[in-house]
Structure 1
Amino acid sequence: MKRYRKDMTAWLMIILFLVILFYLYNQLKTDRYIDQGEDAPLPENLDPVVAEKTEELVGRAAEENIDIVITETTRSNEKQDELYKQGRTKDGSIVTYAQGGESYHNYGLAVDYALRNHNGDVSWDIHYDGNNNGESDWFEVADMAKELGFEWGGDWSNFKDYPHLQMDFGLSIDQLKQGHRPKHGESDT
């Protein structure tokens, strides 16, 4: 009978520990975002952390003699839908698989970049080596961006989106659609 009580006590302690662990995990998950509700308006500007890291990226690239141009930041659902039509119902190549509301651009969490070449032209040539160090400037920028916490679309397996950089802060598109927004520090509480 004593052994049975010991076993039961041990199992109760394990279950209690798991319940506490589950609770703490869910607290941490909800502490990283603000719930603005499903009717939350889409942001008109980049998320402040994304904006700061984008500026830092431009500066780091310049230090390596790479001139990058941010070609796209926050995007409306309407503009996203227009881009989605490209290569489908409109002329051009397919540039996105995300419809309005399904891109991190729609939530101010993504930017697109290109390079400015020596002639001053904006270029999407991923092989361009303007600083003549034997490496593609495009991939150098992507590596810098990843060091700053960005996810790079060039790493995606299903669709390579080389100009795309995003920070999702652990939030899925479904969560963003539900009105969740990243939480960054005391000013968001």
Structure 2
Amino acid sequence: MRKEIEILPVKSLLKLVVFLLILSTIGLIVYEYSRYYIGPPNLEETSLPTELHPAVAEKKDQLISKAADIGINVVITQDFRSIEEQDALYEKGRTAEGNIVTHAKGGESYHNFGLAIDFALMSVNGQVIWDMNYDGNGNSKADWMEVVEIAKGLGFEWGGDWTQFKDYPHLQMDFGLSIWELQRGKRPPETE
């Protein structure tokens, strides 16, 4: 005897589709409302850091030291950045001269919370360079990638691994916190 597969009647299927569309629409409305009407917090009312987080500062020093041990001179070009400095950087390539270097406005960067650094290399002739193929220590490996490897070993996330906007000089430690959480006052512990 052959069993027939029971298929939902067309009316029931249509009701399910309409219900899912309504549910999706409500979700989208709530999302958009919270985004535009609630928006980001007023960062002036939030206690913001004024320097690099102690754990990040310690790892930064270790990065410089470990790189020096293998003949690579690392230069930290940025660490903590104020909201105003971030806004000025964001304007580059938009309303100010220069190329776009960031997609993060003030309060949207881990630099603003003392959790990120940017680096470059110092060549053997004393020039600060961002050449990712440079091999100043002569070991047939790109110094840049050697620094990235050391940084990752210390717990940094590298901006060159990002899928959208690649930020090759950028290293950050987010301690599992999103920008949204940091904007609302959540901070990593002082010791890790």
Whole-angstrom distance in 2 between the partners of 1:184 and 1:58: 21
Instruction: Indicate conservation of the 8 Å contact 2:53/2:190, yes or no.
Output: no
Q: 2:86 aligns with which of 76, 80, 92?
A: 80
RCO higher in structure (CA 8 A, sep ≥6):
1
Whole-angstrom distance in 2 between the partners of 1:42 and 1:124: 30
Whole-angstrom distance in 1 between the partners of 2:114 and 2:62: 17
Instruction: Indicate conservation of the 8 Å contact 2:159/2:166, yes or no.
Output: yes
Aligned residue in 2 for 1:155: 161
Whole-angstrom distance in 2 between the partners of 1:165 and 1:76: 17
Deviation at 1:40, TM superposition (A): 2.9
Deviation at 1:185, TM superposition (A): 4.6
Give CA-to-partner distance per residue, 1:115-156, whole Å, 9 cap, x none. Answer: 000111111111111001111111110110000000000111
Whole-angstrom distance in 1 between the partners of 2:116 and 2:54: 12
4+ residue segments displaced more than 4 Å:
none
Whole-angstrom distance in 1 between the partners of 2:61 and 2:190: 18
Whole-angstrom distance in 2 between the partners of 1:93 and 1:126: 19
Aligned residue in 1 for 2:67: 61
SS in 2 for 1:182: coil
Whole-angstrom distance in 1 between the partners of 2:63 and 2:191: 22
Q: Which stretch of the first structure deviates more once superposed, 122-131 or 103-112? A: 122-131
- TM-score normalised by length of structure 2: 0.75
Q: 1:120 aligns with which of 122, 126, 134?
A: 126
Whole-angstrom distance in 2 between the partners of 1:111 and 1:41: 21
Whole-angstrom distance in 2 between the partners of 1:62 and 1:149: 18
Which runs of no fewer than 5 residues in structure 1 stay unpaired? Answer: 1-36
SS in 2 for 1:168: coil
Aligned residue in 2 for 1:46: 52
Which of the two has higher C-alpha Rg? 2
Instruction: Indicate conservation of the 8 Å contact 2:56/2:116, yes or no.
Output: yes
Distance 1:173 1:116, change over 3 A: same
Distance 1:102 1:65, change over 3 A: same
Deviation at 1:90, TM superposition (A): 1.4
SS in 2 for 1:181: coil
Aligned residue in 1 for 2:117: 111
Give CA-to-partner distance per residue, 1:63-112, whole Å, 9 cap, x none. Answer: 01000001101001111011111111111111100000000000000000
